[in-house]
Amino acid sequence: PPGRKVLIVYAHQEPKSLNGSLKSVAVEELSKQGCSVTVSDLYAMQFEPRATRNDIVGCLHNSEEFNYGVETWEAYKRGGLSSDLIEEQKKVQEADLLIFQFPLYWFSMPAIMKGWMDRVLVQGFAHEFPNCYDSGLLKNKLALFSFTTGGSKEMYAKGGISGDIRYLLWPMQHGIMHFCGVKVLAPHICFAPEYVSEEKRKEMLIAWAQRLKTLWKEEPINCSPEWYFK
């Protein structure tokens, strides 16, 4: 609906890929609804995935023994995080909905996107003990993982060789998003697009656009072990 803000964190090297098209479809459809849409195109930004001392501007809290979690927490509080992180945190802060668009790499997100999680969601900003899970600092936001797979739907079925696809969603949806208080919408999964016809791929794009039309009416999943491992 008009006024809603969406951040799409997007990780694919090739604009012509299905992931690129899924991203474009989302920008188009959500803009049409009157949402304001921002895209963090991680490869195009050459986003830094490594969590290092460079993320802290100026002196360290403890220069004797570097502790990334403590140092970024302290730096956040004094406004001393590196500018690329401040930039991403601003986008997150403003967003009502975060969409993560990526190809599944090794049962998870590509390293460049994992680096976005590792570096952007610092303590003090996204969580601050005991403010985690339902009281995480990013509560009142929604997240949606939209991704493509190499393996087929059959491989990712319960009893399939790769196990129920939900098993691998636990660290991403519960361990990251729910931990920060973000409510999780059902994932959007395009299985094995490389092995289907061009027509099937077009149907995948249409299905995504279709889902986005009524996205704001969706209820979040119940992000507890039952949803994943029942």
CA 125 vs CA 91, 161, 199: distances in Å: 12, 39, 43
Of the candidate residues 124, 163, 187, 220, the single one contacting a second copy (CB under 8 A): 163
b/e code 101-116 from CB counts within 10 Å (16+ = b)? bbbbeebebbebbbbb
Q: Is 52 an interacting residue with respect to a second copy (CB under 8 A)?
A: yes
Residue 77 to residue 85: CA distance in whole angstroms = 13
Structure token digits, residue 56: 């802290």
Q: Which is nearer to a second copy, 11 or 30 (CB)?
A: 11
Q: Which amino acid is at 102?
A: F
Q: Is 69 an interacting residue with respect to a second copy (CB under 8 A)?
A: yes
Answer yes or no: are the C-beta atoms of 159 and 100 closer than 8 Å: no
Q: Which is nearer to a second copy, 111 or 209 (CB)?
A: 111
Residue 8 to residue 95: CA distance in whole angstroms = 10
Q: Which is nearer to a second copy, 107 or 216 (CB)?
A: 107
Of the candidate residues 28, 34, 59, 66, the single one contacting a second copy (CB under 8 A): 66
Q: What is the contact surface with a second copy in residues (CB under 8 A)?
A: 13-14, 16-17, 43, 46-47, 49-53, 64-69, 105-108, 110-112, 114-115, 117-119, 121, 133, 150, 161-164, 167-168, 170-172, 174-176, 179, 194, 225, 228-229
